[in-house]
């Protein structure tokens, strides 16, 4: 059980975690904190949190577990504000998509890695954002990756693992570098492709007609371009090196397809498309 949970940033991710734990009966009190008081009042009205405190340093005082659910670009500043109120007994975690940046922000703010710090990343979400988008079932059946550090206590890892398992998530562990490389390829790059494609088409002269005749495949592929732009800007910057690596590889592969089309090379196109279909089919079945 968590006696007091503090969520810093009560949006889709933090709000859904709070709701899931409340529905599971795994938390006694949930405190929220953010810069927007109207947003926090709405979170209380929706039953996501019990109460709120605008000052994050006051909000985390006395909390068993503190979860950083703010955009990646705000993590460093938030850590600076709460560092004096987090004790050695506090379990500190996050939901960030780029673990290296979060670890560096925590290390810089605290001057060391607290033994209670457990970096975490729930691989779940929707294209919607804000507390009104939160729902208790968001994490059910989805993976949550923990990237504990050498300084992280086993007790803290166990508490964070237990917390996420109570949401219905499947919890796995890996290291920070490997996590950021894999997520750059499987999550961050697809978002860049979706944002880039929609922006490119929107700037074409006949974009209204293009979007009007778009079929289901276009809507499915570009759905994630409706995601929070601030959050994805921060992810790009935070995971810059890994993302640039997979983008460079994709650009090379795209040039290969471009040359095949230019040269009317149907054999190469068929080989690429067949290989992609087989890989996708295996993934879907698995």
Contact 35, 157 (CB under 8 A): no
pTM: 0.88
- What pLDDT, in 10s, does the model give residues 154-201? 999 999 999 999 999 999 999 999 999 999 999 999 999 999 999 998
Q: For residue 27, give the CATH number of its domain.
A: 3.40.50.720
Range of the domain at 209: 179-285
Cα–Cα distance for residue pair 100/94, rounded to 1 Å: 12
> 217 and 137, same structural domain?
no
The larger pLDDT score, comparing residue 98 to residue 211, is at 98
Contact 128, 101 (CB under 8 A): no
DSSP 18-39: HHHHHHTT-EEEEEEE-S-HHH
| 206 has pLDDT over 80 | no
> 146 and 9, same structural domain?
yes
Q: What is the DSSP letter of 204?
A: S
- State which of 143, 174, 205 marks the end of a domain: 174
Q: What is the DSSP letter of 169?
A: P
- What pLDDT, in 10s, does the model give residues 111-166? 999 999 999 999 987 778 889 999 999 999 999 999 999 999 999 999 999 999 99
> 184 and 160, same structural domain?
no
- State which of 130, 157, 174 marks the end of a domain: 174
> 231 and 160, same structural domain?
no
Contact 161, 154 (CB under 8 A): no
> 142 and 43, same structural domain?
yes
> 217 and 77, same structural domain?
no
Q: Give mean pLDDT, residues 36-59.
A: 96
Q: For residue 219, give the CATH number of its domain.
A: 1.10.3660.10
> 216 and 118, same structural domain?
no
> 150 and 95, same structural domain?
yes
Contact 80, 56 (CB under 8 A): no
Instruction: Return mean pLDDT, the chain.
Output: 93
> 17 and 86, same structural domain?
yes
Confidence band for 69, pLDDT divided at 50, 70 and 90? very high
> 141 and 15, same structural domain?
yes
The total number of structural domains that make up the chain: 2
> 221 and 126, same structural domain?
no
């Amino acid at each position: 059980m968590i006696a007091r949970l503090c969520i810093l940033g009560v949006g889709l991710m933090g709000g859904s975690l709070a709701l899931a734990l409340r529905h599971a009966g795994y938390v006694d009190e949930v405190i929220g904190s953010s810069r927007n008081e109207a947003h926090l009042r709405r979170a209380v009205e929706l039953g996501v949190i019990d109460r709120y405190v605008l000052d994050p340093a006051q909000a985390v005082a006395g909390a068993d577990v503190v979860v950083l659910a703010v955009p990646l670009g705000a993590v460093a500043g938030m850590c600076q504000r709460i560092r004096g109120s987090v004790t050695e007994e506090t379990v500190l975690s996050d939901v960030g998509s780029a673990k290296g940046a979060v670890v560096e922000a925590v290390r810089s703010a605290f001057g060391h890695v607290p033994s209670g710090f457990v970096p975490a990343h729930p691989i779940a979400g929707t294209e919607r954002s804000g507390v009104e988008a939160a729902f208790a079932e968001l994490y059910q059946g989805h993976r949550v990756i923990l990237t504990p550090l050498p300084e992280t206590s086993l007790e803290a890892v166990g508490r964070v693992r237990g917390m996420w398992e109570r949401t219905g998530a499947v919890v796995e562990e890996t290291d920070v570098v490997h996590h950021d490389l894999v997520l750059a390829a499987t999550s961050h790059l697809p978002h860049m492709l979706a944002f880039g494609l929609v922006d490119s088409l929107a700037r074409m002269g006949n974009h209204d007609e293009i979007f009007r005749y778009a079929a289901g495949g276009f809507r499915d592929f570009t759905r994630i371009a409706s995601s929070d732009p601030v959050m994805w800007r921060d992810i790009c910057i935070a995971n810059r090196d890994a993302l640039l690596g997979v983008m460079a590889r994709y650009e090379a592969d795209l040039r290969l397809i471009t040359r095949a089309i230019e040269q009317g090379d149907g054999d190469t196109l068929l080989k690429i498309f067949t290989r992609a279909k087989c890989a996708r089919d295996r993934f879907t079945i698995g």
